[in-house]
Structures are given as structure tokens and as C-alpha cells.
């Protein structure tokens, strides 16, 4: 199963703190040996300031060993730092606790006004702004995302977009909100970052590319956790050459998530998104392939239903082992089945239920029930022939009469408009000539 695991690829573009949940998930999946995962987790955590967590992991890993001194030393130091910062940032805490602050933020026109307000009411020193950011960073590194998020919120309000820490602050806020499972706020941050990057403040295409890659990856948490996440991903990628380019150049593995989002998307936007997706998948087929993209290829390029069926089975394992996709496992399977069935129906006028059941990986009875439900919900124009065990599709050919009507019905309206405008025009001209 390890061949389809994307943790390694995704991890490159994520923050250490964001990778931690991924690793936690991996421990539970038993794809890799638990020891290896713990080992890498330890390596991950030692670089952060979440020393207690690291010590826990260490104990799990080496139950019989003493905790090394360096951890303890570091712990000591971190605790000291933490306390010191807590002390110094008391005034900021007070500001944050001020009930009028939120109102003030929404009322101020720009950051200067806000700074003025704080100086006036809270004895705030403008030169403290940078240290707010530094404090937030420390809180974040220690795992206190709540406080970090609050501080960063304030910081972002206090600095112009050109500030050196502005961008990092935004990223920090996004990370905090993701880790706090504040998907709505996360979404806001995501939007802010996106617009910021789209303004291209780096003047350097490589850097822009990098930022976009990160954004796509960090967004993974949002796409599959936020209620409207899928739509969001589709919006981001549909007709957006910028992000499509990112996928094509740096991270074709994102295709998996895109494909999943397209499959489980609402019916009305399904077909256009699918078209785009199929193209990209075909183009990138040599750099990235996994059961999900292959499933789509089978179904929409080759119309190979047996192949699609096989791939769908593989997809199940892929999905259940993917941190982001596991939540939409059921939906995916349902939609995928429906997709197979729909395509099948569009091609066939008569299908035996037994065959269908096989294709959909269901028992005959289940399949029949399923189809009956579809017919009842008016999503399918078909009838069951229980004597032969067939599903007979309704025929929906367009008659030539209808075609002609369709082609000509607006003619009279158009000529009316034309005649009107000609008349108006003539009137214009005569006035012009008279003048």
C-alpha cells in the first residue's frame, strides 16, 4: 500500500506542525512499521519546541531508556523562554482582552488608525509590533496555537501588507487555524493568502510558484474538512491556469485530491470540471498515476468498464489510507458507482441487471434496489424488465422537427431587433443630416 502513500510528497510542502497529524495517522494505518514512523516523528518534533510531546514519543520509542539530557535541557530553556514571553506580552494580552478591540478593528480604516487607537487607549508602543510577531512564533512553536493565533490576528491588523512579517504572519495564522480546526477562519486566511500571492509581490516566478505549491498543500486540510471544501478546491483549479501550472510543474500528486473532489462534486458542475480534469490527467499520465486517476481515465477516456471496476476497488484502499480522503470514503464510492452507471446508461439501451451488479460490485438484489431508487428519484429514465432481468433505457432521440424549431425559433425575435435598430438608426441619421 505504501506505493500510493503521499505523505512523503505532501510533507515536503507542509509545516512541521502540520505534518505531525499526518504521522499520527500513519501510525494507526500500519502501512509502515510503527517504529519507523515514530522515529520520523521524533525527528520532526525535536526541531520544534514541543519538547514534552517529543519526550512522550521518545518514551514510546525507547521504553527502556532514560530520556536524554538534551531534551531536558531544551525543555528547561523553552519553559524559561515561554515564561519570559508571557511576562512581556502581558500588555498585549490586556489589549486582546479588551472587548472594544474587535469593534475597533472592524471600524478602523487602516492599520495606522488602529495603531493610534492602541497607543492612545492602551499605552501601546508601536515598536512592539515586531515583537508581537516574534512572541506569536514562540507560542506557535510551543504548540500554543490559540494564543499564537490571537497574537497573529492582532499583528496582521497592525502592519501594512508590505511589512516583512506580513506574509509569514498570514501563513502562521493559517497553520494555527488548521491545527485548531477552525476551518472557517482557515478559509479566510487561505483566501487572503491567495489574493496576496496573486498580486505577485515577489516579482520572481520561482518564488510565486513555491508559494502557490505550499498554498495548494496547506489547503488540503481545508478542502476535505470544511463543509464547502470540495467546491472550494474546484473553484481554485477550474479555469485557473496559474494553479494548474503549479500542479503540472511541481506537484502532480495533487491530481489525486482534485480527482476525488471532482468525483464527489455536485452534479451540476460535475461535467465541466471532469472535462478539464481528464485532460490534465492525460497530459500528466507519465509523471503521476494512481488508482483514482486511472479510474477516471478508464471511465472517461477508454470506456473500459471492467478496468474502471478494478480501479475502483483499488481506490478503496487508497482512500482509506489517505489522511485527507478518509473522511469522504463513502461519498466517493457512491459517486463513483453512480458515475459508472450513468456512463453505462448513456451508452446502452438495455442492460442486464446481473451484469450491472457485477460492474457495480453489488449483489443482484442490491443493484436492483439501487436502480429502483434511482428511477424513483427521477434521475434515470428507465424501466425494469423483470422477466428477462433487464433494465431498459428510455430513448431520447431528438427529432428533426425539434432541431429545426430549435434553430429557427429565435429568428423572428432577432429580425425584430434588427428592424428596430435600423429604424432607430435611420432616425438618428436624419437628425444628423438636418443639423
Partner 1 sequence: MSRFYARGSDSETESSSEDEAPITKPTIQPTVYLSEDEEEQTSKRIVRSARDKRFEEMYTLVRKIKNFRKNNDMSNILDCYEDLTKAHQKALPIILKEEKGATPSFYLRILAQLELYVNQQWENKKTMSKINSKSLATLRQKLRKYNKDFEEDLAKYRENPELLDEDDEEEEKEVDEDDDESDSEPEVKEKKPKKESTKKVAKTDGDDESDDSYWGSDSDESSSSSDETEYTDLRQRFLKKAGEGEQEESKTKKQKEREQRKKDLAKSKLDKEQEDEDELGTWEVVKGGVQAERPKMFQKDQEINTPVVMKKLVEITAVRGKKGTDRKEQIELLVELESVAKEANLGSAVAVKIGFAIIAAIFDYSLKVHEIQKVQYWMKLLDKVNEILSLSISTKDHLTIDENVAEDSEELDKAPYKVRGCLMTVFERLDEEFLKVLKELDSHSFEYLERVQDEKKICEMLDRLLAYLESTHLVNDKGVMCRAYYKKIEHMYYKFDVRVLKKKRGEFKGDTSVDDMQRLAGYVYAKDTTDRLRTRAILCHIYHHAMHDNWFEARDLILMSHLQEVIHHSDPATQIMYNRAMVQLGICAFRHENIQDAHNALTDLMMSGRVKELLAQGLMPQHRHDRSPEQEKIERSRQVPFHMQLNLDVIECVYLASAMLIEVPYLAEHEFDAKRRPISKTFYHQLRTLEKQSLTGPPESMREHVVAAARAMKKGDWQKCYNCLVNEKMDKKVWHCFAIYEYTKNEEKIGVKEMLRRKIREESLRTYLFTYSHVYDSISLPRLAGMYDMEYAQVHSVVAKMIINQELMASMDEPSKTIVLHRTEPTRLQSVLLQVSDKINILRETSDRNFETKIQGGPGTMGPGGKGRQFNRMDWKNRRNQNQNRGGQHNRGDRGDRNNDRGDRNNDRGDRGDRGDRGDRYDRNRGNRDRDDDQQRKQAVEQ
Q: Does residue 207 interact with partner 1 by CB under 8 A? A: no
Contact 56, 118 (CB under 8 A): no
Binding pattern for the stretch 270-289 against partner 1, x by CB under 8 A and - elsewhere:
-xx-xx--xx--xx--xx--
For helices 111-122 and 100-107, give the axis angle rounded to 10 degrees.
150
- Binding-site member from 161, 349, 363, 430 for partner 1 (CB under 8 A): 349
Of the candidates 163, 218, 215, the one whose C-alpha atom is nearest the C-alpha of residue 194 is 215
> Of the two residues 63 and 413, which places its CB atom closer to partner 1 in the complex?
413
Residues 369-398 that bind partner 1 (CB under 8 A): 388, 390, 393, 395, 397-398
Of the candidates 54, 90, 81, 83, the one whose C-alpha atom is nearest the C-alpha of residue 70 is 54
Q: Does residue 423 interact with partner 1 by CB under 8 A? A: no
> Of the two residues 126 and 394, which places its CB atom closer to partner 1 in the complex?
394
What whole-number distance in Å separates Cα of residue 146 and Cα of residue 176? 7
Q: CA angle at residue 131 from 187 to 20, to 5 degrees?
A: 45
Q: Give the nearest distance from C-beta 3 to partner 1 in angstroms.
A: 20
Residue 123, sorted as left (phi over 0), alpha (psi -120 to 50) or beta, turns out to be left
Q: Give the nearest distance from C-beta 29 to partner 1 in angstroms.
A: 33
> Of the two residues 201 and 389, which places its CB atom closer to partner 1 in the complex?
389
Four-residue CA torsion sign, 15, 186, 236, 5: positive
> Of the two residues 167 and 384, which places its CB atom closer to partner 1 in the complex?
384
Q: Give the nearest distance from C-beta 336 to partner 1 in angstroms.
A: 17
Give the helix/strand (H/E) hosting 99. none
> Of the two residues 3 and 432, which places its CB atom closer to partner 1 in the complex?
432
Q: Give the nearest distance from C-beta 282 to partner 1 in angstroms.
A: 8
Q: Does residue 158 interact with partner 1 by CB under 8 A? A: no
Q: Does residue 28 interact with partner 1 by CB under 8 A? A: no
What whole-number distance in Å separates Cα of residue 96 and Cα of residue 139? 15
Which residues neighbour 365 within 8 Å (Cβ) at sequence distance 6 or greater?
none
Q: Give the nearest distance from C-beta 106 to partner 1 in angstroms.
A: 44
CB atoms closer than 10 angstroms to residue 263: 26
User: Which stretches of the chain bind partner 1, using CB under 8 A?
Assistant: 249, 271-272, 274-275, 278-279, 282-283, 286-287, 300-304, 306, 343, 346-352, 355, 388, 390, 393, 395, 397-404, 406-408, 411, 414-415, 418, 421-422, 425, 428-429, 432
Amino acid at each position: 500500500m505504501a506505493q500510493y502513500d503521499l505523505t512523503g510528497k505532501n510533507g515536503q510542502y507542509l509545516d512541521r506542525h502540520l505534518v505531525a497529524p499526518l504521522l499520527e495517522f500513519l501510525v494507526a494505518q500500519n502501512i509502515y512499521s510503527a517504529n519507523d514512523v515514530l522515529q520520523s516523528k521524533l525527528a520532526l518534533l525535536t526541531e520544534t519546541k514541543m519538547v514534552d510531546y517529543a519526550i512522550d514519543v521518545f518514551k514510546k520509542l525507547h521504553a527502556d531508556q532514560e530520556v536524554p539530557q538534551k531534551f531536558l535541557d531544551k525543555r528547561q530553556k523553552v519553559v524559561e523562554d515561554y515564561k519570559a514571553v508571557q511576562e512581556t506580552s502581558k500588555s498585549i494580552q490586556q489589549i486582546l482582552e479588551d472587548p472594544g478591540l474587535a469593534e475597533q478593528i472592524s471600524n478602523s480604516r487602516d492599520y495606522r488608525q488602529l495603531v493610534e487607537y492602541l497607543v492612545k487607549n492602551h499605552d501601546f508602543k508601536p515598536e512592539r509590533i515586531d515583537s508581537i510577531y516574534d512572541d506569536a512564533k514562540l507560542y506557535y512553536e510551543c504548540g500554543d496555537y490559540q494564543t499564537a493565533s490571537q497574537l497573529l490576528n492582532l499583528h496582521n491588523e497592525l502592519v501594512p501588507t508590505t511589512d516583512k512579517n506580513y506574509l509569514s504572519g498570514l501563513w502562521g495564522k493559517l497553520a494555527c487555524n488548521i491545527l485548531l480546526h477552525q476551518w472557517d477562519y482557515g478559509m479566510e486566511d487561505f483566501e487572503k493568502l491567495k489574493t496576496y500571492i496573486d498580486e505577485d509581490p515577489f516579482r520572481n516566478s520561482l518564488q510565486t510558484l513555491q508559494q502557490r505549491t505550499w498554498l495548494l498543500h496547506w489547503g488540503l486540510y481545508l478542502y476535505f474538512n470544511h463543509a464547502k471544501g470540495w467546491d472550494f478546491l474546484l473553484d481554485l483549479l477550474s479555469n485557473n491556469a496559474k494553479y494548474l501550472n503549479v500542479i503540472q510543474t511541481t506537484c502532480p500528486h495533487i491530481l489525486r485530491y482534485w480527482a476525488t473532489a471532482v468525483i464527489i462534486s455536485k452534479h451540476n458542475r460535475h461535467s465541466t470540471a471532469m472535462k478539464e480534469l481528464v485532460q490534465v490527467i492525460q497530459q500528466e499520465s507519465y509523471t503521476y498515476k494512481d488508482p483514482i486517476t486511472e479510474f477516471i481515465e478508464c471511465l472517461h477516456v477508454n470506456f473500459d468498464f471492467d478496468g474502471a471496476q478494478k480501479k475502483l476497488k483499488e481506490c478503496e484502499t487508497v482512500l482509506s489510507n489517505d489522511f485527507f480522503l478518509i473522511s469522504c470514503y463513502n461519498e466517493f464510492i457512491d459517486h463513483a458507482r453512480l458515475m459508472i452507471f450513468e456512463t453505462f446508461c448513456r451508452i446502452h439501451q438495455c442492460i442486464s441487471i446481473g451484469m450491472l451488479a457485477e460492474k457495480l460490485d453489488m449483489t443482484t438484489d442490491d443493484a436492483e434496489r439501487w436502480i429502483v431508487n434511482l428511477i424513483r428519484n427521477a434521475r434515470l429514465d428507465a424501466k425494469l424488465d423483470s422477466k428477462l432481468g433487464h433494465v431498459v433505457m428510455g430513448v431520447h432521440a431528438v427529432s428533426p422537427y425539434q432541431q429545426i424549431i430549435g434553430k429557427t425559433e429565435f429568428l423572428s425575435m432577432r429580425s425584430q431587433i434588427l428592424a428596430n435598430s435600423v429604424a432607430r438608426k435611420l432616425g438618428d441619421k436624419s437628425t444628423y443630416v438636418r443639423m
